């Protein structure tokens, strides 16, 4: 991923927080040189000094076979909020652009065994269900429902390289930066409001 110096993020803790918050991502593998992608809920784990991405897909999705065939060079893409930035919001003439947050994680993948997949599903349900009034947790599912695990394939990716870009108008002056936030909040678009909040939280002028 091409990342201009203004927008490069190297703090691994910050990147991990972003991935945990925006954990519905894209898994990209290749088959005979052709990229294949699936959009999936993913989990980030740290084990010692290493980081891993785990997830699962339908058994009927042939992409899981590419993990066995070509385990190296797997790419996970995580994207956050994004929004169009009009150059009419600057105090000088320029061209429009787009603000966004994106993380690319490269690694080596393998297929999970049944026990690993079950443990991963337990963690996934805990992450999204434990705060709910009628939580759907693995231990509360019937044996019949748990058998549906046979219809999915789990994978685990050891992360070897991380590239992160936060394009948040860091290259603009303070006046333009603050005006962009104000104008984004006037848009009728949730993504615009979200990217405005991210810019406000990461404001380097304060």
The answer to whether the predicted template modeling score (pTM) of the entire model surpasses 0.85 is: yes
CA dihedral 9, 156, 20, 103 (to 10 degrees): 30
Give pLDDT, residue 95. Answer: 95
Give pLDDT, residue 76. Answer: 98
* 143-172 tens-digit pLDDT: 999 999 999 999 999 999 999 999 999 999
Q: Is the dihedral of CA 137, 52, 39, 72 positive or negative?
A: negative
Give pLDDT, residue 156. Answer: 98
**pLDDT < 50: residue spans in the chain:** none
Give pLDDT, residue 204. Answer: 72
Q: H/E/C letters for each residue in the chain? A: CCCCHHHECCCHHHHHHHHHHCCEEEEEEEECCEEEEEEEEEEEEEECCEEEEEEEEECCCCHHHHHHHCCCCEEEEEEEEEEEECHHHCCCCCCCEEEEEEEEEEEEEEECCHHHHHHHHHHHHHHHHCCCCCCCCHHHCCHHHHHHHHHEEEEEEEEEEEEEEEECCCCCCHHHHHHHHHHHHHCCCHHHHHHHHHHHHCCCCC
Number of CB atoms found within 10 A of residue 11's CB: 10
> How many Å apart are CA 58 and CA 164, to the nearest integer?
29
Give pLDDT, residue 98. Answer: 97
Strand partners, 159: 107
């Amino acid at each position: 991923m091409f990342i201009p110096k203004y927008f490069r993020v190297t703090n691994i803790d910050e990147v991990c927080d972003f991935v945990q918050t925006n954990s519905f991502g894209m898994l990209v593998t290749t088959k005979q040189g052709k990229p294949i992608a699936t959009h999936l809920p993913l989990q980030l784990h740290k084990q010692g000094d290493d980081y891993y991405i785990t997830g699962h897909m339908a058994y009927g999705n042939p992409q899981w076979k590419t993990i066995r065939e070509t385990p190296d060079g797997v790419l996970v893409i995580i994207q956050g909020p994004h929004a169009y930035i009009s150059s009419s919001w600057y105090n000088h003439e320029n061209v429009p652009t787009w603000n966004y947050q994106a993380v690319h994680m490269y690694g080596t993948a393998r297929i999970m065994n049944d026990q690993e997949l079950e443990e991963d599903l337990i963690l996934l349900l805990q992450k999204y269900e434990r705060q709910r009034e009628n939580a759907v947790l693995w231990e509360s599912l019937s044996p019949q429902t748990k058998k549906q695990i046979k219809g999915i394939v789990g994978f685990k990716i050891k992360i070897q390289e991380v590239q992160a870009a936060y394009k948040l108008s860091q290259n603009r002056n303070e006046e333009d930066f603050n005006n962009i936030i104000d104008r984004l909040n006037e848009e009728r678009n949730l993504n615009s409001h979200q990217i405005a909040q991210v810019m406000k939280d990461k404001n380097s002028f304060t």
